[in-house]
Structure formats: C-alpha cells, structure tokens
Amino acid sequence: MTDQNVSLFTHIINRDISADIVFEDDICIVINDIAPQAPVHMLVIPKQPMARLVDADAADQALLGHLMLVAGRVARQVGVGDAFRLVVNNGADAGQTVFHLHLHVLATADGGLKLSEADMSD
C-alpha cells in the first residue's frame, strides 16, 4: 500500500497521528471521534485495513464479530451500555468519508439517543 493510499485511521493505528484512544487490543483500536455527532461518539476501527463493510468475506467473520463485541464493551465502559446506536456508513453515498471500515458508537451522555439521519455521516 503506497502512502497516498494509507487511510487516516492507519496513521492513527501506527501512531503517526495522535488520537484520544479509549481502548486497544491486537485486533482493533477505539478512539473518540474528533468531530462528534453526539455527546458520546467513538469509532471502533480494525487494525486490518478494509475499505468498506461490503469488502468483507467469510474469512472476516471473526474480525467483524470482535468489532461488535468491543463496541458493546466500550459502550458499557463509558456508561451508555443500555442505550447506544451502532452505525456503519458503507460508501460515499451513505456518508462514509474515511475508507477504512469503522463502527460509530453514538449515545447521549445519559445513555439515551435522539439523532437525525443527517447526524450519521463520518
């Protein structure tokens, strides 16, 4: 992968760019979004680059399951485990602006969530 094809998230994973890291393991990293669309807005990012969800295949099942489990874990960790939204924007027309698969964990600080579709873009 040439440097121009390396995503912003790969730079964060490699520590070329700083980020507010909430959680990290060998498979993924979770950061607070720099332009939050809700009081709680974290991104669950796999370390293995994958542009979009539709690029996944059967070999990625364990990775995708792990991302979902981590999303639930960090939601509980920050106190919104009972009420949060999990969003994946797949493609530019769906609001994806960073083409490295990532899950948005969104909630209000008190665990509720009322967001419009306009709030769902990357």
Residues catalogued as catalytic? 102
Q: Are 51 and 101 in contact (CB under 8 A)?
A: yes
Beta strand 40-46 with 28-32: parallel, antiparallel or unpaired? Answer: antiparallel
List Cβ neighbours of 9 (8 Å cut-off, separation of 6 or more): 43, 45, 98, 100, 102
Torsion over CA of 79, 82, 88 and 93, rounded to 10 degrees? -100
Angle, CA of 45, 48 and 54, to the nearest 5°? 80
Q: Are 50 and 99 in contact (CB under 8 A)?
A: no
